[in-house]
Amino acid sequence: PLRYVSIFRPSVKREAQQNKAPCKTMGPAKVAMPSPKNFLQKHSKEPKLPARKKEDSKKLPTLSVPQRTDHPVMGIQSNKNFITANAVAAITGLPKKPQPMYVDRRQGEKYLLETSGLVPKYIFKKDYGVTPKYITQRNEEMKRAQQEHEANILELQKKKAMKRLSDEERKNLVQGLKKNWEEVYREFQGLPVQIDTISKKLHKERLELQMKQLEHDIEELEKHKVIYITNE
């Protein structure tokens, strides 16, 4: 059998030929080529400093020395004998005291002794060893605060002074505790035989704790004949 040929083959060839030219290159088709004369030169990308201004060489700096045209002052004379005066000053003058030095290395390097910290010059100050004023004030404030604290403690101790219970008050207190124990015990006896809920269990535990605490208090009051309480 003959091979199948599509009837759209000529039209596809024609469209492919028409759309092929724009896809030949990436980017614009025509690009200006760089000139070979504009090649990259050495130090061309470094920042350039502005041109140096030429200084005016005609202006000379002002000098403090006398000029060649200046003339010295004439007519001034002195009868002083400088040689004799210098000799007398050298004989009668005090000799120059050498600066105190210290050597701390075997190479012989010298350093000033005054600035080394080895000279005890601070002990001769007028306020050496004197307590500073701010420390004295702080100590006084601390003493004052301590005294106020002790006075407050004494006052609190007086307020919280212990008071002794009389025999009658102790007996009344024991009778009241026993009465409370009886009421709690009566309530404990009224509990149901079967305790099957959480609330009933908690209620039973609370009654048992109250009875134990009351029994402990009654025992302590009956054991000790002398009891003190605070005035609160």
Token pair of 43 as six digits: 């130090």
| CA gap 230, 163 in Å, rounded | 6
Name the pTM for this structure. Answer: 0.33
| CA gap 218, 63 in Å, rounded | 117
pLDDT digits (tens, 9 = 90+) for 205-215: 999 999 999 99
When the pLDDT of each residue in the chain is averaged and rounded to a whole number, the result is 84
pLDDT digits (tens, 9 = 90+) for 71-104: 888 878 888 899 999 999 989 988 888 888 988 8
Burial track 160-182 (b if 16+ CB lie within 10 A, e otherwise): eeeeebeeeebeeebeebeebbe
Secondary structure class of 196 (helix, strand, coil): coil
- Domain extents in the chain: 100-161, 163-229
Q: What separation in angstroms does the CA of 130 have from each of 117, 120, 122, 134?
A: 21, 17, 13, 12
| CA gap 184, 203 in Å, rounded | 11
Exposed, middle or buried, 210 (CB in 10 Å: 0-12/13-18/19+)?
middle
Q: Which amino acid is at 89?
A: A
